[in-house]
Chains A and B, each alone.
Chain A
Amino acid sequence: MNRLSRTALSPAGPPAGSRARARLQLSKRTGGVAVVAALALAAAGCGGSSGQPASSGSSSAAAHKGGTFTILASSAFGVADPAQNYTLEEWQLLIDTHDGLVQFKRVGGLPGTTIVPDLATAVPKPTDGGKTYTFTIRRGIKFSDGTTLKPSDFVRTFERQFTVPGPTSFYSEIVGASKCKPKKCDLSQGVVANDSASTLTIHLTTPDAEFLDKLALPFAYAVPASTPFKLTGNHVPPGTGPYMWKSYNPNTQAVLVRNPYFHVWNPQAQPAGNPDKIIEKYGLQVSDEVTQVENGSANEVFDGDVIPSDRLSELNSPKYAHQVHVNPLTADWYFALNTKRPPFNNVKARQAINYAANRAAYVKIGGGSSLAVPTCQVLPPNFPGYKPYCPYTAGTDHTKWTAPDLAKARQLVQQSGTNGAKVVVNTDIPDKALGEQMVSDLNKIGYKATLQALSGSVQYPFVQNSTNLGKWNVAWSAWYQDYPAPSDFLNVLLGCGSIHQGSDASPNIAEFCNQSIQSQISKAESLSLTNPTAANSIWAQIDHEDTDQAPWVDMYNPKQIDLLSSNVEGYQWNPQWYILIDQMWLK
C-alpha cells in the first residue's frame, strides 16, 4: 500500500498509497496496479466502450509465436531491482520474467483479478487464525540462469524487502520483519523453508485478509537465494518466467528475450509468451510515440504515457479507432478537505462544496465523458463493495451525478456560518486546471478561494504531512488501487490508522477520523477472511457513510487509453496489470 510511481519509487516507509501519476488526456492519471483475492466483483467488468478485448485468450498461442514486440515509453522506470521498483512500467515486464507463489490470473477482464497458484501448487487456506500460510512449491522449475528453484529462495526474496530501500510495509506483518535492518534481516522464524519437502511456511504476527494479494505483487516474486541483500541497481536478478532480462539501460531501452529454461506449469498463472523478443524504448515525446505506432514502426504506446489531447481527434477517426482500446480504471480523482481546520472542520461546509462542485467541468478537464465518469463516492465502479451513491446532485436520483445544486450549497454555507472564509486550494502544477475549477466552485458559494500550485514532487508529501495542515484547506489528489479490496480505499485513505503525524507518508490527507466508521472498518476487515460477501455489504455501508461525512470532493473515475499498431492481435486488458504484453502477437 505504498505510493506507486510510474517512473520511480518513492521510498515512503509507512503506507502511503498508490498515487503515482502519468499524464493522460488533459490531466494526470496514475499508472496504478492492483491485486486481488478471489473477490466477487460487480458485473460490469472492464473493457469499456471500445476497449473490449480483441481476444480473450491465448489458446492458439503456438501459432502466434515469433517477432519482436516494441513498446515506446517517454521515460524509463528508474532502478530495476524488483525488490524496490514500484512502477507499472516495470511490473508489466516483471510479470513476464518472474513468478510469485501465487499470481493474478493472466487473462483479460474481471477474471484477471482472481488469485491462482503460480510457483506454489495450490492457493492455501490460512491456518492459526489467519496467521499461517503453508505453500507446497513446484519441483523442476529453473531460473533463467539454470539454477533450480527451491523454497529457500523465497526466504532471501522476502528478506530483501527489508534490506533494499523499498515499500517494506507490504510484508511488515511477517514474523521477524520488525527487527530487520537495512544491513541485516533474518526472517528464518517468519518464512520457514523446507527444501527437501518443498514447502514454505509463512507466519504472520496478525491476520491479513489481503496477504495473498500482496504475495502476487512483483516484490514477492522469487529470486535466487544467491541474490545479494543490497540493491542490484539496473541488473535484474534471474527469474522463472517465459522471458529473461537481456539488458536494461534507462537511457535507451530494456530488452527481454526468451528464457531457455521455461516451461508452462500453470497457464492460468504464467502462460507462454508470444513474441520472441520484447523491447521497451525510452526517450521519445508521447506525441512521437503515437506517430510511430500509427505508422507501425512500434507496437504500443506505454500505458502510463498520456496521449496528448490534440492527438485524440485522429484516434477518433475510423482509420485508427480500431487500434484504440479504452478501459475504466478502479481509481479516484478527488479533492481532500482539511477536516482539522475551518471552514471544513464543519461537516455542513464540506457537504456544501460537494453540492457546488461542478463535476461536469472536472470531467471535461479529465478528457471528457469518454475518458472520465463523474462520481460522488469513494469506491470506484466495478469494485467490491461498490453500490452507486451520489447525494450531492441536483434532482432526485441519488445514484448518479447530473448537475451541481448551488442553492443547496449556499444554504449549507450559511448554516455552517463559514460564509466568506478564506480557502487555500492546493494542487500540483500539472493539475492546476482542476485546482482553478475548484477555486471557481468555492467562490460561487461565498468563499474566498485562492490557488496554491506546487511542483509535482513536492505536492503529495506536502499535503500528507500534518505539520502543513495550517497552510491549505483543499488538496487535490488521486488514488489507484493497489489491489481491489475496499480497505485499499476506505481504510488506507480515510481510516484513523492512516494518519501519521509529522510524516510525509500519511495517506489520510483529510485527517478524517470517525470512530463509528472505524469500528465498522475493523469489523469488515475481520469478516473479509471468512465471509467476503458479508464484508462487502459492510464496506458499501462504510462507503456511503464516508460520502455523507464528505471528507473529500470526489470528482471522477478515470479511464485508460491504449494505442496499438494495426498489426497487433490478442489484446487483453487485465485490471491488475493493464495490457498483457506477452499475450499479444504480431500479424
Chain B
Amino acid sequence: MATMLGQAEAAPEPASEQLPEITGRSPWALAARRLWRNRIAMASLVLFLLIVVVCLAAPLYAHDIAHVNPFVNNLNGTTIVNGKKVPLMQQGGGVLHLGETPIGPTWDLRHYFLGADAQGRDVAARLLYGGRSSLGIGIGSAVICCFIATVVALIAGYFGRAVDAVLSRLMDLVWAFPVYLLAISISTVLLTSANGLQVGPLHIAASSLWLPTLIIALIYLPYVYRPVRGHVLAATEKEFVEAAVSQGASDLRVIFSDILPNVVSVVIVLLPLMIATTILTESALSYLSVGVQPPNASWGTIISDGQDLLYTRPWVAIAPGIMIVLVVLSLNVLGDGVRDALDPRARLRVEE
C-alpha cells in the first residue's frame, strides 16, 4: 500500500518522462481512422472501386478478349458456342417463325459472355462501357452539384439578407419541381433536339455525355444547397468568425478559410449519397430514352434495350440492374460510414 502510495505520489515527474508523447490528431485523421475501422463501409468502398476498375477496363475486354465492337449492329454476325459457329440472331421457330431472338449467355468471356442484345451487340461489353457512362455521369454530376451548391450556400449564408433571399428563392424554384419531372422535361428538350445545348459560344451536342451530367447536377442543387447553407448560417454566428472579421479579414478569406473548413464535412458526407442518387437518376432517364444517347450505352439504356427481351433473354436487363443495385448499395453503405466517421455523435443521436 505504502509502495503504491509512494509510487503514486512519486509518479508525476518520472511518468511524464516515460510515457510516449501524445500526438494531436486532426479531426480528419480521426475520421479516417474511424472509417478504416468500419469493416462494412470499407467492404463497400472496395466493391465500388472494383466495379469502377472493371468498367474502366471495358476497352480492354471488348478489343482484346471478346474482340467485338459493342457500338455497331452485328445482326448477321456469328459466335462460337461449344466449338460450333452459331448465328447471333436466331429466327423464331415453331409454326410461324415470327421474330428474331438474340443468342443468350454463353458464359464464355471470349464469346458473348452475357449473350447479345436485339441488335446483335455483346451485352457484356456494353455492360462495361455502360458502366463507364453511368459512373462517369453519376460521379461527375454529383461533384459538380456539390461544388456549385457549396459555393452558392457559402455566399448566401455568409452575406445573408437580399443575397440569401434571392439565391434561396432560386433554389426553391428548382426544388418546387418534382425531381424526375424536371429532369425529364429538360432532357427531352435538350437531348432529343437536333441542336443540343447552345449557350453563347458554348455548344454541347445532344449526344454528349456532358448534357445529362449537367442536367442531373442542376436538378439536385437545392438538395445539397439547403443543408450546407444551414451549416454556413450557424458557422457565421460563431466567435471565430467575428474574430476574423474584427481583425479585418476579407469576406473571401472568412468564407474560404474560416467557414468552408467547418462545413466541408457536410459536403463530404453528402457526396457518396449524391453519387448513388445521381447514378439512379441517370439510369432512370436513360431507361426513358432521355439520358445517354446512342451509340453510347449506359446501364439504363441497356435495361431499356432488354425490356423487350425479358421473357426470352432476361440477362440483357438483369445484368445492368444488378450493377446498379451493387453500386448504389455500396455507395449508400459507404455514405453512412463516412457520416459516422465524420460525426460519430450523429449515430448516437439517432440511437437515442
Residues on A lying within 8 angstroms of B by beta carbon are: 25-26, 49-50, 287, 308-318, 321, 324, 326, 358, 360-361, 364-365, 367-371, 426, 429-430, 432-433, 435-437, 439-440, 450-455, 458, 462, 468, 471-472, 561
Contacts and interface: CB of A to CB of B under 8 A. Distances in A.
Interface stretch (B71-79, B127-135, B223-231): B71-79
Contact of B98 (A316, A450, A453): A316
A326 B95 CA distance: 12
B119 interface: yes
Given A316-B93, A458-B192, A370 B99 contact: yes
A310 B188 CA distance: 28
Contact of B295 (A316, A324, A451): A451
B97 interface: yes
A454 B290 CA distance: 10
B42 interface: no
B289 A312 contact: no
Nearest to B313: A310
Contacts of A326: 96, 98
Given A370-B92, A453-B294, A458-B192, A311 B207 contact: no
Nearest to A426: B194
Contacts of B75: 358, 360-361, 364-365, 437
Interface string B295-330: 100000000000011111100000000000000000
Contacts of A25: 98-99
Contacts of A472: 194
A429 B100 contact: no
B294 A313 contact: no
B275 to A, nearest CB: 27
A309 B313 CA distance: 11
A25 B92 CA distance: 12
A181 to B, nearest CB: 34
B101 A309 contact: yes
Contact of A451 (B91, B95, B193, B207): B207
Nearest to A458: B192
Contacts of A316: 92-99
Interface of B: 72-73, 75-76, 89, 91-101, 118-119, 188, 192-195, 206-207, 289-290, 293-295, 308-313
A368 B92 CA distance: 8
From DSSP, what is the main secondary structure of chain B's interface residues? Answer: loop
Contacts of A358: 75-76
A170 B76 CA distance: 43
A347 to B, nearest CB: 26
Given A316-B95, A364-B75, A436-B119, 11 more contacts: A49-B96, A313-B99, A313-B311, A314-B311, A360-B75, A364-B76, A367-B98, A371-B99, A426-B194, A437-B75, A471-B194
Contacts, number: 140
7 contacts: A50-B95, A308-B311, A316-B99, A317-B94, A370-B99, A462-B194, A468-B194
Contacts of B194: 426, 452, 454, 462, 468, 471-472
The 10 closest A-B pairs by CB, nearest first: A316-B94, A312-B99, A310-B311, A455-B192, A321-B95, A368-B100, A361-B75, A312-B98, A310-B312, A364-B75
Contacts of A26: 99-100, 118, 308
Given A370-B91, A440-B73, A471-B194, A309 B96 contact: no
Contacts of B118: 26, 309, 365, 433
A315 B339 CA distance: 54
A50 B97 CA distance: 10
B100 A452 contact: no
A326 B97 CA distance: 11
Most buried by A among B100, B119, B207, B309: B100
B192 A436 contact: no
A430 B207 CA distance: 16
A437 B72 CA distance: 8
A561 B99 CA distance: 11
Nearest to B97: A370
Nearest to A459: B192
A369 B192 CA distance: 31
Contacts of A49: 96
Contacts of B195: 471
B94 A429 contact: no
A313 B94 contact: yes
A369 B193 CA distance: 33
Contacts of B294: 432, 435-436, 451, 453
Nearest to A432: B294
Contacts of A321: 94-96
B192 A454 contact: yes
A436 B301 CA distance: 14
A300 to B, nearest CB: 17
A411 to B, nearest CB: 22
B72 A370 contact: no
A581 B89 CA distance: 35
A477 to B, nearest CB: 16
